Amino acid sequence: MASTQQTSPSHRDNILTGANVIVCGGGIRGAAAALALARKGAAVRLYERSPEFAEVGRGLQIGPHGWRILERWGVLPSLIERGFLPKRMRFRDALTDAPLLTMDFGESFQEHYGGRYMVIHRSDLLSCLIDAAVAAGAELHTGMTIVGAGNASHGVVVDLTRRCENDCNHEVTEQVKVDVLLAFDGIHSRFRAELSDDAPVPSSYVSYRGTVEAEGDPLEGLEDVVGHIGPHCHFIQYPLQGGQLLDQVGVFRSERYLAGHQNGEIPGDWGNPDELEDAYDHCSPQVSARIQHLWTNRWWQMADHAPLENWTDGNIIVLGDAAHATLQYLASGAVMAMEDADCVADFAADAARDSEELDWASVLEEVQAERLPRCSRIQTTSRFWGELWHLEGTGRIVRNALFRAAENDWYQYTDWLWRYDPSARAHIKEPSLGIVPRELREWRYRVVGGHSDARDPAGAES
């Protein structure tokens, strides 16, 4: 049913008129949810605790799985204007600069996936989504923190605090009752904490970012996403803002963190710019010469969640990073949240068409049934994909051979990721779609320092 009721890109309907929705969290993920629901006529209030909407000005990749959703939401034109549509993705060996695999994003790709590949500043994406959400009628609030929420009869009671408008350091509390609460409150989600006592899973990898003006740079005119992958590190570069900027992303394993993890005391200086200084010494000049373009005032530890078995509590659901924070190797963290948002709006609209009164708890159960297997597979595969990029020695050579062998046949590895459409309810119909291949299921991700085989006695998780 859902697929036959697909709306055209700019079409909005009012099927959710009368529904009251709160979105917790005003990053890209929450803004996407506010837009998706407001487009269907729901009364959406979004609360962000920071004083303003902001994302760090660094790039984000959006595959065709995200493109098709953004197209449905009608926001593509403004995104394309500020982003960049790379011609291809080129993987190269970080040690030798040798080409490994070129994924062409041309006509054949676009026809196969019904979408394009886009890169864009996070801040540009966020502001587009916020503008569109506001235009669709959503109410967006900053400086307001959701401090609690509980299911009440046919709805959710939400407690909020905000700073007094006179800036008198006084907190004002209010309580609202709505139909449903969508918690996009990130990897350290307070709502996830009510469903599970698990914590984010740290990794020994640290990420540095940096953008530079393209003009005069040796890479001026770059039209591709270029990813150098190598032992314990990778480095990704692509154009932004119509090619005026070049974005750099350097990710490497912190040997200090690893050593600290092993002897039980993680040093305060792990992953800092001193460590960055040496982290690419083993790489080709094409990589090591670029680290000067990384910002050294900020860096990020890579972390994710293990898949969670339940996202819902009545009319409350965790989504986005709160539900399924992932490592970045499949460039699908933000897109998964867009899929979540699209799925909630779509399933709610279908339910509204089917009955007088919308049973949000059932809608959220259905959303979870569709989304959880999908996101679990992305989380697990992202972990594997990272290990794959960072292989050394024999494994690296084999990986390189596999990448080269895939040159004309790589859709087999990306179809499951990029052809997915939540409205098709594919995982509800066939839950096994979320199951990774057996070898990957038995593969054990080790938080620190690699990987092992499930049945290998030496392979206990660290």
Strand order in the sheet with 312-313: 139-142, 43-48, 20-24, 180-183, 316-318, 312-313
135, 428, 440, 447: which one binds a copy of itself (CB under 8 A) = 440
In the 8-state DSSP scheme, what is residue 49?
S
In the list 354, 415, 430, 456, the residue contacting a copy of itself (rule: CB under 8 A) is: 456
x/- mask, a copy of itself, residues 221-240, rule CB under 8 A, reads ----------x---------
- Token pair, residue 400, equals 């390189």
Give me the residue label for tokens 């792990």: 270
- Of 196 and 286, nearer to a copy of itself (C-beta) is 286
Which of 149, 131, 179 lies closest to 348 in space, CA to CA? 179
Q: Going by C-beta distance under 8 Å and a sequence separation of 6 or more, which residues neighbour residue 355?
A: none
Q: Which is nearer to a copy of itself, 220 or 442 (CB)?
A: 442
Tokens representing 318 are: 């965790």
Binding mask 90-129 vs a copy of itself (x if CB under 8 A, - otherwise)? ---x-xx-x-------------------------------
Q: Residue 84 has what DSSP assignment?
A: B
Least distance in angstroms from the C-beta of 89 to a copy of itself: 19
Nearer to a copy of itself, 281 or 357 (CB): 281
Site string for a copy of itself, 387-406 (x = CB under 8 A): xx--xxxxxxxxxxxx--xx
Q: Is 439 in the site for a copy of itself (CB under 8 A)?
A: yes
The tokens for 386 are: 């990272």
Q: How far is CA 221 from CA 86, 116, 239, 261, in A?
A: 11, 20, 8, 42
Select 95 or 323, whichever has its Cβ closest to a copy of itself: 95
Q: Reduced to 3 states, what is the DSSP secondary structure of residue 222?
A: coil
Judge contact between 45 and 138, C-beta under 8 A.
yes
What character string, x for contact with a copy of itself (CB under 8 A) and - otherwise, covers 64-93?
A: -----------------------------x
Identify the residue whose tokens are 């999908």: 374
Provide the minimum distance between the beta carbon of 461 and a copy of itself in the complex, in angstroms, as a whole number.
12
Between CA 74 and CA 76 the distance in angstroms is 6
- Tokens 């600290």 found at: 260
Of 281, 304, 301, 306, nearest to 291 (Cα)? 281
90 in helix, strand or coil?
Answer: strand
Across 53-82, b (16+ Cβ under 10 Å) vs e yields bebeebbbbbbbbbbbbbbbbbbbebbbeb
Query: Residue 393: what are its φ and ψ, rounded to 5°?
Result: 55, -135
Q: Which stretch binds a copy of itself (CB under 8 A): 31-39, 166-174, 349-357, 439-447?
A: 439-447
Site for a copy of itself in 266-285 (CB under 8 A): 281-282
**Beta carbon of residue 453, minimum distance to a copy of itself (angstroms, whole number):** 5
Among 53, 91, 347, 384, binds a copy of itself (CB under 8 A): 384
- Decide if residue 438 touches a copy of itself (CB under 8 A): yes
Q: How far apart are CA 122 and CA 117, in angstroms?
A: 15
Structure tokens at 294: 């990384």
**CB contact at 8 A, 348 and 367:** no
Can residue 452 be called a binding residue for a copy of itself (CB under 8 A)? yes
Minimum gap (Å) between residue 63 Cβ and a copy of itself: 21
164 binds a copy of itself (CB under 8 A): no
- For residue 383, the minimal CB distance to a copy of itself (Å) is 10
The stretch near a copy of itself (CB under 8 A) out of 319-327, 331-339, 385-393, 414-422 is: 385-393
Return the range that interacts with a copy of itself (CB under 8 A); candidates 15-23, 29-37, 262-270, 453-461: 453-461
Does the footprint of a copy of itself cover residue 304 (CB under 8 A)? no
**Is there binding between residue 217 and a copy of itself (CB under 8 A)?**
no
Nearest to a copy of itself of 369, 447 (CB atom): 447
Size of the site for a copy of itself (CB under 8 A): 39
Q: Report the interface residues with a copy of itself, using CB under 8 A.
A: 93, 95-96, 98, 231, 281-282, 384, 387-388, 391-402, 405-406, 409, 438-440, 442-444, 450-453, 455-457, 459
